[in-house]
Amino acid sequence: MIDFVRHHYVTSGGLRLAADIGGSPDAPAIILMHGGGQTRHSWFGAMRRMIAEGYHVINLDARGHGESDWAPDGDYSLDARASDLGYVASTLRQPVAVVGASMGGATSFYAVGSGNVKARALVMVDIVLRPAKAGAEKIRKFMRANLDGFASIEDAAVAVAAYNPDRPRPSDPSGLMRNLRLKENGRLYWHWDPRIMDEEPSAEPPAWVDKLLEVSSGVDIPTLVVRGGHSDVVDDEGLAEMLDLVPQTEVYDVSHAGHMVAGDKNDAFNRGVLEFLGRNFSATIASA
């Protein structure tokens, strides 16, 4: 049984960020950053495996998502997210690796490149500096739909299945409640602040291309891009640009996975990420 505890970080601006934390507090640390419109629950399988491998893991709900506070001023900018990540990383005394999906990956890249986070390794899950237009538009369409909520969890499951038809639909959709909240009107709403979609450039899919390009030279640590074999967000052109600007980047393709790589093929995802971290994070710490 892998145990973890609930914790709340309070930023300098008073925002409470919810997290699950597990593993020895003296072990090398991994911070998990979910994608936009998701919650930390999307990492549960990966988190358990990382703890079992001996890491200290912080699985964070981003501002405006899950059990973290919504920003009173509606600030969901890249700088605000990177500042949140920097604050969490600053509470750790041991070496840190950051693993981020989509919005979380772009936030992690910017935080490392701008110096907000002194990480030893970076993993970006199905995201590069310039997402493919077709995939980006598909995500925007999904997130802007159903902002008036759902009458039932089954309706929400239908919406998810329509976005990702290649993923087998679970016979019991109750697990989806981790990403939904029930309001007094009896309807279910996604567990994130809808003002996120008002942010320009958009937070999900990350459209912070100019800002990411500006800090790319500051990302000089071991970096891995995990790409879903069926991804429509990371295309060859975007990947080539990433490899040109951050030449130490490695690429790990997960066959038969879409944009939600860890959720689609968790075992394959874990194998690739843990192998990369073993070579480029744990090994460098052991030899330091």
**pLDDT of 283 over the 80 cut:** no
pLDDT at residue 169, as a whole number:
77
Asked whether residue 148 is assigned to any structural domain, the reply reads no
pLDDT at residue 288, as a whole number:
64
DSSP state of 1: -
- Among candidate residues 286, 285, 283, 276, the one with its CA nearest the CA of residue 222: 276
Domain of residue 280 covers 4-130+208-287
Residues above pLDDT 70, as percent of the chain: 99
Asked whether residue 243 is assigned to any structural domain, the reply reads yes
Q: Is residue 42 a contact partner of residue 50, using CB atoms and an 8 Å limit?
A: no
HSE (CB half, 13 Å, CA atoms) of 32? 30
Q: Is residue 134 a contact partner of residue 232, using CB atoms and an 8 Å limit?
A: yes
CB atoms within 10 A of CB 120: 21
Question: How many structural domains does the chain have?
Answer: 1
**pLDDT of 168 over the 80 cut:** no
Residues above pLDDT 90, as percent of the chain: 85
Asked whether residue 12 is assigned to any structural domain, the reply reads yes
Q: Tens digit of pLDDT for each residue in 63-112?
A: 999 999 999 999 999 999 999 999 999 999 999 999 999 999 999 999 99
Q: Which CATH number do you get for residue 106?
A: 3.40.50.1820
Q: Tens digit of pLDDT for each residue in 128-155?
A: 999 999 999 999 999 999 999 999 999 9
**pLDDT of 182 over the 70 cut:** yes
Residue 1's pLDDT band, with cuts at 50, 70 and 90, is low
Tell me the C-alpha distance between 253 and 249, whole Å.
Answer: 13
Return the sign of the alpha-carbon dihedral for residues 227, 230, 231, 237: positive
Asked whether residue 156 is assigned to any structural domain, the reply reads no
**pLDDT of 27 over the 90 cut:** yes
Asked whether residue 169 is assigned to any structural domain, the reply reads no
Asked whether residue 278 is assigned to any structural domain, the reply reads yes
Asked whether residue 142 is assigned to any structural domain, the reply reads no
Asked whether residue 99 is assigned to any structural domain, the reply reads yes
Average pLDDT of the chain?
A: 94
Model pTM greater than 0.75?
Answer: yes
**pLDDT of 9 over the 80 cut:** yes
CB atoms within 10 A of CB 283: 11
188 CB contacts (<8 Å, ≥6 apart)?
149, 150, 151, 152, 153, 155, 156, 180, 181, 182
